[in-house]
Structure 1
Amino acid sequence: MTRFRETVRSLLREQVLDAAYQLVAADGWGGLRMTSIARAAGISRQTLYNEFGSKEAIGNALVQRELEGFLLGIQRELDAHRGALEAAAAAGVGYTLQQAVDNPLVKSVLLAARGGEDDLLAYLTTRPEPVFGTAMAMLDAYAIEAWPDVDEESRGLAVETVVRLTVSHIVQPVASPEESARRIARITARVAYPGGRG
């Protein structure tokens, strides 16, 4: 019975997050109400509050779910270029920047922020979790295995550099995703290999 309850709860959470995703993508975060989410998900407000507790918790869960999808895609890109750090970084960053351009939730968050509503943007930029912490932990673990010749300090600096620059370019793009990815990858490789390898 416990497994059944967990499955039902997991399905409920996904149903709520799908509904919230569609509402945020269509109308932005600022106007999102728990009542609207419950109605769109086909559940009662009380069930919604019992499962998530607050709009902030839903925002956190939405960003976490999107981040997990991004990280899986990034790992595929890194694996395809495992032999060369700069090429791998360019592929991973390029994938992330292009997904950010194409992702309705990210687009909605960025448009709202440019209009002065930045509540959900904080999950991407000023809160250390989930974006920075999760992405840096994943990339650090990957780099330890993929590029064992990079010393610990250089690896840590390179990982932080690539994550922070990528998020910065998502929030405030200054060039095409491809060009930004090339530049971020070059910087990352120089930080990882100060002597010029990579």
Structure 2
Amino acid sequence: MSSDWMRDERPLHASERILDTAAQLYVEKGIAAVGMADIARAAGCSRATLYRYFDSRQALQLAFVHREARRIGSLIAAKVPRSGDAGEVIVSAMLAAIELVRADPALAAWFQLGDSGLAAQIADSSDVIESLGKAFLGHADVEDEQTSRKARWLVRVIVSLLTVPGTDADDEREMLEQFVAPVLIAPTT
């Protein structure tokens, strides 16, 4: 075990190292099959050290998902213009999210058979993921129940397409344009 795990000035580096190690294991073994002992061993630290940074497997998984959601959100913000037709902006943001997740093996692993339920559970309960959905809607700072419900539904649609893809990219775009965007841009009553 490396002594650098014990230094006070390295907690952010250490937690990032642990999350990076978890990402590699998620690709190799699948999300459900990766335990804390596996991560500690692969990261080169003791389980006690690992638990100092993440108090449970669920906490580590949530930290990983939140880190990656923030990264994906930043990439989408840079990639998708925020002006123009509201429906097109939402559809483009959703498709960009789907494309970015599918292109990253550590994220795609969350949507494989047997692991997608955990991804859906986190997506449904995460404030970070809901905030990302609100950003897609162009309402990142809005705090009302209707906007929150729309954001959570938008995320569920993305999770659904990641779990059960359309026949191709055009099919997914058409479904989002026809069935999702009109509901999301409709005024709330």
TM-score by length of 1: 0.74
Q: CA–CA distance in 2 between the matches of 1:187 and 1:136?
A: 20
Is 1:179 aligned to 2:171, yes or no? Answer: yes
Retained in 1: the 8 A contact 2:82–2:89?
A: yes
C-alpha spacing 1:39/1:19, structure 2 compared with 1 (3 Å):
same
Q: CA–CA distance in 2 between the matches of 1:193 and 1:64?
A: 26
TM-score by length of 2: 0.77
Structure 1 partner of 2:155: 163
**SS of residue in 1 equivalent to 2:10:** helix
Structure 2 partner of 1:83: 84
Retained in 1: the 8 A contact 2:25–2:39?
A: yes
C-alpha spacing 1:160/1:184, structure 2 compared with 1 (3 Å):
farther
Q: CA–CA distance in 1 between the matches of 2:146 and 2:53?
A: 42
Deviation at 1:172, TM superposition (A): 1.1
Is 1:129 aligned to 2:131, yes or no? Answer: no
Q: CA–CA distance in 2 between the matches of 1:64 and 1:11?
A: 16
Q: CA–CA distance in 1 between the matches of 2:162 and 2:62?
A: 18
Q: Percent same amino acid among aligned pairs? A: 22
C-alpha spacing 1:37/1:94, structure 2 compared with 1 (3 Å):
same
Structure 1 partner of 2:102: 101
- Ranges in structure 1 where 5+ consecutive residues have no aligned partner: none
Aligned length: 178
Matches within 5 A, 1:35-50: 35-50=37-52
Deviates more, 1:186-195 or 1:34-43: 186-195
